[in-house]
Chain A
Amino acid sequence: MLKIENLSVKVHGKDILRRVSLEIKDGEVHALLGPNASGKCTLAYAIMGFPEYKITDGTICFRGKYITNLPIEDRVKLGIALAFQHQPTIKGVKLSKLLEKISSPAINMKGFSVNPDLFEREINVGFSGGERKFSEIIQVISLSPIFVIFDELDAGLDIGNLERLASIVKDKLLSNGVSILLITHRGNILRYLKPDVAHVMLDGEIVCSSENWRKIWKTIVRFGYGKCKECEFPSSRQ
């Protein structure tokens, strides 16, 4: 599905990612863990093709096609989607209007057990933390993606909402064979979505990758991310 090889990325002239390699196969869930400012979001934005995220080396290949130089919207058309951690407000534009424009086929708004008023509100204006996350996941699903990046899906959510969101991810995405890259700091979402592989990113490099996400998470909880520098697992899963 997605193959990243030796990817290096600069943002505003500063090197952020260094020779990152990552392969996600069809239907797999990968978790990307790491402390703040380790480069996780940069990887997400580089995969999406945000202009400020300059690729200085390496390649991104999606379903056999090199997308390194494709504009954002063309990557979306190939099936890549991102659920943002920080969503901008867009005054005057109702969520329903955006969904109407981007959904193909038209999305059934009743299928998400959220307050229907949400769809008639301006995008992210005055949304609670939970509403923002539901809005994100509804937008992402409306794109009918085959690969989704969730950037801190679980940030700021209570347990109840986290369970509901995880359930939507399972029912609407995973059950349809969608691959997922889950960027997170927390263990709860890992327990709900049970990643096939977990990676740890430190200082712009993936220093550890393992199918045993529980062991990685326990290590982080017990010793902190510093321990990952001495990781016993290979730094990339080949």
Chain B
Amino acid sequence: MESVRSANFLQVDNEIRRILAEKGVIVLSSREAYKEFTWTRDYFEHKPEDGYFIWIKKPINHPLTTCIAISSPKVSQNPRNLVVIERNVEAEINSVCNAVKKNLCGSHVGRSKVVLKENSGLKIRHFHKWGGGDVVGSSIEFSLGKRARLFHTYRCLAVPEKLETENKTFLASYSSANFEMAVLAKDGHVDIHDSTFLNGEKSSGISRLRMIADENSTILAHSKMVANAVGTGHLDCMGLLLAEESSINAVPELLNKNKDAMLTHEASVGKISEEVLNYLRSRGLTEDEAIDLIVAGFLSGEAPFTHEGRVLPSKT
């Protein structure tokens, strides 16, 4: 991923520092978009103060980057973001929301809507990194038109004191959504709500959650797949407990309203087995090295993110 130094949208605290449009791509603050394009008011519930509007009209051959950062103590952000991908357009977005220090005690409540028009494609990588005193809420709603394709990854390997995420994905006919989420919780509480609605025939959704609860943490993951039309959906929730006093509550839910649709799920929550640890220690790794290797593998997914030109570590 390109560094956030060249981000298309950069907001620090409540100040927009950079907006960089490109050929075929309109980038504005949400506030400006609300004024300039009245049709966007269908998507914004209220007049937005923070956040970005990205309208991708032509194919782009590199990822766009957005960054919303907290860098001062006790900042409160409420970004309202809107992304629209036009018909037949393929796009990639890397989206970073973070606190630049661990002790800023900020608040970030982001709400995003992403519209993929007919036969468009979006690969969006969403990365969060917070400090221990932050409180964060994040909701994203994806609307996929016919034959649209979405690949969405979310990673948060440094959770705030409290993190609430909500994803809703609505799929029209022949569209597909693939969601991968990786969360490593330590000294924090995470509440995940993820819902996928198969509303059009032959739509398909996959939701893959990987959660690790380290010391002093709780994770609740409610993942739901709803078939309103003929389609296929799969939920895959895996949790790894690294500390005795922490907990993971995985709640996969399948709701099928169409007899020809097929919904499946698999879920497991457990600790690293002694058998696996002994196996890796028999290869000369210490117990800590073995756990690091297992955790890195468990959370493995997309290419690493970079920030300020540096690759962010897989484990903080």
Known: A50-B278, A88-B273, A90-B276. A139 touches B297 (CB 8 A): no
Contact indicator A122/B297 (Cβ below 8 Å): yes
Contact indicator B283/A76 (Cβ below 8 Å): yes
Our pick among A71, A92, A93 for the contact of B281 (Cβ within 8 Å) is: A71
Verify if B274 is at the interface (C-beta below 8 Å from A). Answer: yes
Contact indicator A76/B297 (Cβ below 8 Å): no
Those of A41-96 within 8 Å (CB) of chain B: 48, 50-52, 71-73, 76-77, 81-82, 84, 87-88, 90-94
Interface centre among B282, B294, B298, B300 (most CB of A within 10 A): B282
State A98–B299 Cα separation when bound (angstroms): 16
How many of A's residues come within 8 Å of B, CB to CB?
Answer: 26
Closest to A92 in B: B297
Contact indicator B284/A91 (Cβ below 8 Å): no
Q: Which residues of A contact B297 (CB under 8 A)?
A: 90-94, 97, 122
Closest to A104 in B: B284
Contact indicator A90/B294 (Cβ below 8 Å): yes
State A81–B284 Cα separation when bound (angstroms): 9
Smallest beta-carbon distance A50→chain B, Å: 5
How many of B's residues come within 8 Å of A, CB to CB?
Answer: 21
Q: Which residues of A contact B299 (CB under 8 A)?
A: 92
Our pick among B285, B298, B300 for the contact of A101 (Cβ within 8 Å) is: B285
Contact indicator A73/B278 (Cβ below 8 Å): no
Verify if B264 is at the interface (C-beta below 8 Å from A). Answer: no
Interface centre among B278, B285, B298 (most CB of A within 10 A): B278
Q: Which residues of A contact B298 (CB under 8 A)?
A: 91-92
Contact indicator A72/B278 (Cβ below 8 Å): yes
**Residue positions of B touching A, CB distance < 8 A:** 273-276, 278-286, 289, 293-294, 296-300
- Give me the 9 closest cross-chain CB pairs, A-B, nearest first: A92-B297, A93-B297, A72-B281, A76-B284, A102-B283, A88-B275, A88-B276, A92-B300, A92-B298
Further contacts, 7 of them, CB under 8 A, given A51-B274, A93-B297: A73-B286, A76-B282, A92-B294, A92-B298, A98-B280, A101-B289, A143-B283
